[in-house]
Structure 1
Amino acid sequence: MPRFAANLTWLFQELPFMERFRAAKDAGFEGVEVLFPYDHPTQDMRDQLIFSRLSFVLMNCPPPNATGGPQGFAAVPGVEARFRRDFDRTLRFAQVLKPLHIHIMAGAAEGPEAEAVFIENLRWAVARAPRQSLTIEPINRIDMPGYFLADYDTAARVLDAVAAPNLALQFDAYHAHRITGDVMGTWAAHGHRARHVQVAGFPGRHEPLGGEIDYPAFFARLDADGYTGWVSGEYAPETVTGAGLAWIG
């Protein structure tokens, strides 16, 4: 079975944020991710990670206003300076939190100019942080209208253009199903590029149990393919988090 991580932005919301680390460990998780950790005391988070003996798997970049502001703009023409300034801010947080991966969000944009800007910003970022693993993630445009990176062929083209060892694919099975309707086929075509995996049920984006995505088969495929990265639960629990954790058993 894969190594499972808990997305603390989505899971254990019934608890105060700082209590979610220990709750994740007690529930059987060995790693956690936080999408936007910028509003919490950084050293307190690091202390919780150490105290709970958890790996910090992933955080997002850039640090936007997650309630109303743009969620990323690495592919948005005209704001390259803002992207680079905020990437440096993310790196300052990463110096303390030590995430395994930083997910660079493309933002809302379209067309060849946006792709060129995305590639150039990523080339700058991989050189700026050569020892940091960076990821890009296709996100469906139903959940995030206008998002630039909304298909796997574009992601493959961008990754090939940047061609950096510290940049890889972030594969979210929920988004893959929304985008292609075929998680297993999409993984077969693009899984070799993946360094991080996220899961949620479909429809509803609840626990990865039942529904339209055969997660036992998907996890078996990850094992068969030799995937050694983390699999993170990024979903909205139907009730309290602890009631729906059979998927990690």
Structure 2
Amino acid sequence: MKFSANLGFLWTDLPLPDAVRAAHAAGFDAVEFHWPYDTPAADLRAALEETGLPALGINTVRGEGNGLSALPDRVEEARAAIDQAITYAHEIEAGAVHVMAGFSEGEAARDAFVGNLRHACDAAPDLTVLIEPLNRHDAPGYFLSTSAQARDIIATVDRPNVKLMFDCYHLQIMGGDLTRQLRDCLAVTGHIQFASVPDRGPPNGGELSYDHVFAEIARLGWEAPLGAEYKPRGDTGATLGWMDRYRRA
């Protein structure tokens, strides 16, 4: 299996270009980012070119919460955030933009989210536009919380480049039955992330068996790198014992 280092959580003690270099030295196959905007794109791209690691994606800015795109009264700001993310993604040759919905609910929020996602898809047909359900414990009030809701939104947006960010951590907390969710969602999935449940640590502990989950992902034919989006306990390098084991598996 292949793995991507999510540098929003891993090696956060390092400047982002150095975190890219650390991920390469540790054996990761790709990297991904949360909000890299404080780092000049040229510096980040130089580190990516130096290491040969592909950048899988970045997030739109959070605003005061967890995004803007499902806030009916902030469409202009949401689209500016989307355009910013698209520009930065192109500058570092990232493949995807995760459009963050924000804290909201109701039909007006849904309409705003759908409209903003169509804007993102049409503005960047060469990129994958990702949406990610977040669990109600870590992000109470977040607009998007289940894979079924995400699939409905994707069908409504009706663009070929809008996809699901399938985060095993969030979806296990929200619905469980992760194997079935993977099977049901694979056709609309653009990226898969993982962490242990319930502590969001490395994948070699907690209530979720990644022996089983990763084997199922491989059986389903998924070949892209899986995103390690977990919170290390202490030094990131000391938490990577899981990687060789699952790579061999």
Give the TM interval when normalised to the shorter protein: over 0.9
Which of the residues 202, 205, 210 maps onto 2:205? Answer: 210
User: Contact conserved, 1:195 with 1:229, CA < 8 A, in 2?
Assistant: no
Pairing of 1:1-249 with structure 2 (within 5 A): 1=1, 3-61=2-60, 63-65=61-63, 69-249=64-244
Give deviations 1:38-68, integer Å, cap 9, x for gaps. Answer: 111111000011111111011001x235xxx
CA distance, structure 2, for counterparts of residue 29 and residue 226 of structure 1? 20
| Higher mean C-alpha deviation, range 85-94 or range 197-206 | 85-94
Read off the aligned partner of 2:21 and give its amino acid letter.
R
TM-score under structure 1 length normalisation: 0.94
Read off the aligned partner of 1:153 and give its amino acid letter.
A
CA distance, structure 2, for counterparts of residue 92 and residue 13 of structure 1? 24
Give deviations 1:83-117, integer Å, cap 9, x for gaps. Answer: 11221122221221111111111111101221121
Aligned residues: 244
Q: What's the offset of the Cα at 1:22? A: 1.1
- Match of 2:208, SS state, is coil
CA distance, structure 2, for counterparts of residue 82 and residue 12 of structure 1? 30
Read off the aligned partner of 2:77 and give its amino acid letter.
R
Q: What's the offset of the Cα at 1:73? A: 1.3
TM-score under structure 2 length normalisation: 0.94
| Higher mean C-alpha deviation, range 43-52 or range 15-24 | 15-24
Give deviations 1:156-198, integer Å, cap 9, x for gaps. Answer: 1110111211111100000011111222222122232211011
User: Contact conserved, 2:173 with 2:198, CA < 8 A, in 1?
Assistant: no
Gaps of 5+ in 2: 245-249
Identity over aligned residues, as a percent? 36
Q: What's the offset of the Cα at 1:235? A: 0.8
CA distance, structure 2, for counterparts of residue 236 and residue 133 of structure 1? 25
C-alpha RMSD of the superposition? 1.3
